[in-house]
Amino acid sequence: MGRLEGKSAVITGAGSGIGRATALLFAREGAMLVIADKSDAVQATARDIAAAGGHADALTGDAGDEAFVEALVARAVSSHGGVDVCFANAGITGGPVPFFDLTPAQWAEVLRVNLIGPFLAIKHAARPMIGRGKGSIICTASVAGIRSGAGPTPYSASKAGVINLVATAANEFYGTGVRVNAICPGLIETGMTKPMFDYARERGTIDRVGQLNPLTRGGIPDEIAHAALFLASDDASYVNGQALAVDGGLTSSLPVGKRGKEKPARFN
């Protein structure tokens, strides 16, 4: 039997990258899935799961929209009798916008998807879990939420919020049996980071990607998926309110790259 045999799981951001890798892994481990993404690529994930002998209901929608998140959970309850695992993985970077060019609207959109989205997943998934006396909720944060230098400012702030959100939610659910944790990926090759990896390959410097962490390499989505599997499974039955860094050791130290001495353009 798989580690998630007979369990019902909801995954957002399952059309590519970490979400797709996690959906495929959870299916292999026996989970019954409801998966979602803003892109129709989530349908391809569902087809690949079916081709491997599993099953996933695939829905296209916005993980920051409450009605859609509520519908995802309701589908898992109606199709599979409940929700055992919820992986709130969907997120956006907001793009590399210079600090002084950022607008409140850009901040609001990043926070809506990256922080309010996980809150909505926790809110709606926890209700049926509490009724059953157990459940595991996992949110994708980032090493950017732990220290600066790993992402744009709004993105980093939103991921710091996710880390605090899971700690707060775990205590909100005191005595219910529902666990809430976060994963903080380091540099992982996904659609979000593909331009950087492609650029490094074009320049012949791919061996320098990830050089600031002790493993001296970037990661792949499967490595985050296996961390999610651990937190989803009964193997993590005593892990709660934590932010697990899966980053090659990056946050174990304070590595920094060379910085220029020039002042920001706005001050020149």
Sequence spans of domains, the chain: 8-246
The string of DSSP codes covering 32-77 is EEEEEESSTHHHHHHHHHHHTT--EEEEE--TT-HHHHHHHHHHHH
Terminal CA-CA length for the chain: 63
Q: Is the pTM of this model over 0.75?
A: yes
Q: How distant, in Å, are the alpha carbons of 118, 131, 180 from that of 77?
A: 19, 12, 19
CB 18 within 8 A of CB 224: yes
192: closest CA among 30, 71, 19, 12?
19
So what's the pLDDT on residue 151?
87
199 is catalytic: no
For 102-119, b/e burial (b = at least 16 CB within 10 A) is beeeebeebbbbbbbbbb
Phi, psi of 14, rounded to the nearest 5 degrees: -90, 10
Quickly name the fold that domain 8-246 has: Rossmann fold (3.40.50)
So what's the pLDDT on residue 188?
87
So what's the pLDDT on residue 210?
61
Q: Rounded CA gap, 204 and 200, in Å?
A: 6
Tokens of 209: 């990607």
**Cα-to-chain-centroid distance, residue 43:** 19
Tokens of 193: 């980071």
Q: Rounded CA gap, 56 and 34, in Å?
A: 5
Q: Where are the alpha helices (DSSP H) in the chain?
A: 17-28, 41-51, 66-80, 104-111, 117-132, 153-172, 194-203, 221-232
Which residue is catalytic, options 155, 174, 199, 238? Answer: 155
**Cα-to-chain-centroid distance, residue 80:** 23
Q: Give me the residues paired with residue 140 across strands.
A: 183
Tens digit of pLDDT per residue, the chain (268 long)?
699 999 999 999 999 999 999 999 999 999 999 999 999 999 999 999 999 999 999 999 999 999 999 999 999 999 999 999 999 999 999 988 999 999 999 999 999 999 999 999 999 999 999 999 999 999 999 999 998 888 899 999 999 999 999 999 999 999 999 999 999 999 887 766 666 666 566 776 666 666 778 888 889 999 999 999 999 999 999 999 999 999 999 898 876 655 555 555 554 4
Q: How distant, in Å, are the alpha carbons of 12, 13, 111, 207 from that of 18?
A: 10, 8, 20, 22
So what's the pLDDT on residue 268?
43
Q: Rounded CA gap, 232 and 112, in Å?
A: 25
